[in-house]
Chain A
Amino acid sequence: MSLLEVSDVRKYFPIKSGIFFQREVGRVHAVDGVSLSVEAGETLGVVGESGCGKSTLARCMTGLHEVTSGTIAFDGDVRRDVQMVFQDPYGSLNPRRRIGSIIADPLVIHREGTPSSRRGRVRDLMALVGLNPEHYNRFPAEFSGGQRQRVGIARALALNPRLVVCDEPVSALDVSIQAQVVNLLKDLQTELGLTYVFIAHDLSVVRYVSDRVAVMYLGKIVEIAPGEELYERPRHPYTAALLSAASVADPDRPRDRVVLRGDVPSPISPPSGCRFHPRCPKAQERCRVEEPLLLGDGHKWACHFPLEPGERLRSAEVGR
């Protein structure tokens, strides 16, 4: 059995209006039918533009959001064995509490150990993530962004979790610090045998840490494949567009950037058929009507007219 099995999960947020008794006037389809599995010991990367539902998916996995429908099966206690590393190193640490007590929170809430054994554990954790254990009495404001993210990682590791969901763990950090934190996460994985779900919008970071990568668009997974495969042979036009938009550190590669037309449609009333069709250079009539399924073996994609391996999105199509 996989460590985590997500089956057809949907998460809709009601939009309410009214003064006394709120009526529901619409729904945001943040996550709309996502299925995937995470195997023990691997890193699953999830990429997509902001607003595609990847953070909501992460919050469903950690039990922060109750799913609207579908199931999330986890081999273990979700509250205990799934931990989260948050995006904002400033917002995720309570400014009025000392970092020692912040890191000890998981132990306290799960009634683990005595106050003195917790203190020892906190010091060990701080050393493990590269913080000076003597600083446990300090406040978050006395740390830099990178150090705060280490605090967040130490907190996530306190209970020896089986799965760590990292929600854009480095996107708020300086580029120079990003590498340190990403390497720390990779080293910790080797040392402790962790499993990660790694969410980011930065394709190069995801590529660096992930064994497999899932691409999300408007609440759905449009393509999922082992890392190299996805980056070398994208089949879904959206994946190809994302990849071409990312900066490429290879001067020999032709720089044909595909610029997507228009904005991401509203998740309140997503387009019919394939959700990508209003912006897709390859869209045809069928895409407007029939929703493509996520099919394939190992490398799955949801597209009626996928790119052939090696095919590039043509600029002519893009300019249409």
Chain B
Amino acid sequence: MISNQAKKQIDVWVAKYPIGRQSSAVMEALKIVQAENENRLSADIIQAVADYLDMPSIAAQEVATFYENYNHKSVGKHTIRICHNISCMLNGADDLVKYLEKKLGVKTGKVTKNGLVNVKKVECLGACVGAPMFQIGEQYYENLTKQKIDEIVDNLK
């Protein structure tokens, strides 16, 4: 369930914590394993991570369901993670979400028919200075306008 390569990556994180505290690496482990499973987690995967880190499966499940950067449903090739917390909201994030939904033809949480994009509303990403903003992959896009969104989204492949 977990590839050897992923195990190696997880071990790097395990080594950062004291011996016997390997479960502290659960967040990174889930992230690593999610990346190689079409960006989503399933019960089996969570179980496998818990077993690998020798922790109760429910404890891994708690972490996996607490943070929104873990996906439990299918996602598109790109996930647009749009912030809807206070700064972005005051700067019109809600309108942008509606705009994105209309433009892509899918509600937040759903994937476009071509499997390319999905939109996810997330909590503050710490870029209030550039509100409203969203994140695609590792990249932040700030001071968004409808025009800017058209440019960014149309260029997604």
Please say whether chains A and B are actual partners in one complex.
no
